[in-house]
Chain A
Amino acid sequence: MSFASDLPIQNFIRDFSQAAQSQGWSVEVERPIGGFIPDLTVEGPRGGTVVVDVQTGEGSVHFGTIAQLSSARAAIEAVEPLPVGVVLLTSDLVAEAVSGAAHELGVAVVNVDFEIEHLGRALVRRLLTDEFGMLDDVKQEFGPVDRDDESKDERA
């Protein structure tokens, strides 16, 4: 998707980048990697990589998008030494069959509302620490989730 002129998504990127950077991760926008150009590439201090594709306003998620992301991961893993996590962030409808295929292929589909304030910070914690387990080795680099901070995000 193109988010260059989309203000909520620009805000999300800023929020996400700041939160990830505060955890020692680096975030790059549209960085070519392994023959692909994901919307965001997040790299951990020890080399773990998560690529994030953002999709909004397309109605529903297509299985071709999932196939492409899984293919991108294989290509990126060929040039990156550590396993690569792939995330599709979308505000579009995700049909059960599509999310099932994504699960089967190891693509994390996160259904979000881009209007939510502090989404970036909440998402960094979800992606890189708790739920997806895509970067198990990376968990050690984070302390326990700050529950106070979490409840602040939920209120927001």
Chain B
Amino acid sequence: MPEFAPHTRLRGVIRQVRAQLQINHDTFGPSEVASALANTFGVFHDPTVLRSSATFSADHAKWQQLVAFATESPDYRLICYTVMNTQLQAVVEPTHGSLPTGCQAAWDGIRGSLKKKKPRLEVARLIDSMTNRELFHGSDGFTSHASTLEVLSLVSITVLTIVYLVVAAATFAKDEVDTLLLGAIPALLSGLVALVVAWRLHRKGKIRWSSK
């Protein structure tokens, strides 16, 4: 069995990272997707962008024939490929900005373009270009935002408070339920507020990144 290469071999190497997004949407033709993206991003499809991409430059001439939309901003480079009438894939690379920020901007733009076609971010991944391995996993789903330590802590407090209220109202605080409820309001609301914030982040399409 061959040995795994020691990580020391990687010392001193500058790692490049790209993001890969997969978006599902209602039926929409490739040319319509390209035109919707151009309208939202306010730029025409620019195939020359592929020449400056670390991922696509080696075969940029072939990719120019294949990709649906490509554009570059001072912060990020976006390359989109229509996989089928209901699926779009995108690669985001950093130019001078941060990759997660660029990724969010790209997803915001794509969401806006396909708004009438119910776009859903199936998955976002930050990939180490040297090894093709996933570094971080991104999602804009409600579960993703609601499963953070902060939200879970607040929801736990709310749940425990409800249990305590029920027990207290049934036993030792039977005569003071109103006072009990008033005192418990902050604890009851904290979990609710945390869930509402998570829901709003989900509705706004904010990507939450987590390591695998």
Q: Nearest residue in A to B128 (C-beta to C-beta)?
A: A37
- From 3 to 59 in chain B, residues with beta carbon under 8 angstroms from any chain A beta carbon are 3-5, 9-10, 18, 20, 22, 54-59
Distance (whole angstroms) from the CB of B50 to the closest CB of chain A: 9
Counting contact residues on chain B (CB < 8 A from A), the size range is 35 or more
> A150 within 8 Å of B by Cβ?
no
Measured in the bound complex, the distance between the Cα atoms of B127 and A37 in whole Å is: 13
Given the known interface contacts A68-B55, A74-B58, A98-B83, the answer about A58 and B134 at a Cβ–Cβ threshold of 8 Å is yes
Measured in the bound complex, the distance between the Cα atoms of B209 and A37 in whole Å is: 24
> A28 within 8 Å of B by Cβ?
yes
Measured in the bound complex, the distance between the Cα atoms of B2 and A27 in whole Å is: 7
Q: Nearest residue in B to A4 (C-beta to C-beta)?
A: B4
Given the known interface contacts A17-B1, A32-B5, A32-B10, the answer about A67 and B122 at a Cβ–Cβ threshold of 8 Å is no
> B66 within 8 Å of A by Cβ?
yes
Measured in the bound complex, the distance between the Cα atoms of B56 and A68 in whole Å is: 7
A62 touches B20 (CB 8 A): yes
Task: Specify which of A13, A35, A59 is in contact with B130 (CB 8 Å cutoff).
Answer: A35
Contacts of A145 in B (CB 8 A): none
A28 touches B2 (CB 8 A): yes
Task: Specify which of A55, A74, A95 is in contact with B84 (CB 8 Å cutoff).
Answer: A95
A63 touches B81 (CB 8 A): yes
> B174 within 8 Å of A by Cβ?
no
Contacts of B66 in A (CB 8 A): 63, 101, 104
Distance (whole angstroms) from the CB of A1 to the closest CB of chain B: 6
Contacts of A105 in B (CB 8 A): 59, 62
Distance (whole angstroms) from the CB of B55 to the closest CB of chain A: 5
Measured in the bound complex, the distance between the Cα atoms of B60 and A74 in whole Å is: 12
> B82 within 8 Å of A by Cβ?
yes
Complex interface bits, A1-40 against B, C-beta within 8 A gives 1, otherwise 0: 1101000000001100100000000011111100111000
Contacts of A14 in B (CB 8 A): 1
B83 touches A63 (CB 8 A): yes
> B136 within 8 Å of A by Cβ?
no
Measured in the bound complex, the distance between the Cα atoms of B131 and A69 in whole Å is: 10
A1 touches B132 (CB 8 A): yes
Q: Nearest residue in B to A101 (C-beta to C-beta)?
A: B66
Complex interface bits, A110-152 against B, C-beta within 8 A gives 1, otherwise 0: 0000000000000000000000000000000000000000000
Contacts of B82 in A (CB 8 A): 97
Contacts of B123 in A (CB 8 A): 58-59
- Of the listed residues A28, A30, A62, the one surrounded by the most CB atoms of chain B closer than 10 A to its CB is A62
Complex interface bits, B57-76 against A, C-beta within 8 A gives 1, otherwise 0: 11100110010000000000
Contacts of B129 in A (CB 8 A): 68
Measured in the bound complex, the distance between the Cα atoms of B129 and A101 in whole Å is: 19
Measured in the bound complex, the distance between the Cα atoms of B91 and A68 in whole Å is: 11
- From 62 to 95 in chain A, residues with beta carbon under 8 angstroms from any chain B beta carbon are 62-65, 67-71, 73-75, 95
B5 touches A29 (CB 8 A): yes
**B-binding residues in A (CB < 8 A):** 1-2, 4, 13-14, 17, 27-32, 35-37, 53, 55, 58-60, 62-65, 67-71, 73-75, 95-98, 101, 104-105
CB pairs A–B below 8 angstroms (14 shown) = A31-B5, A37-B10, A58-B123, A58-B134, A59-B123, A64-B89, A67-B55, A70-B59, A74-B58, A95-B87, A97-B81, A97-B84, A98-B83, A104-B66
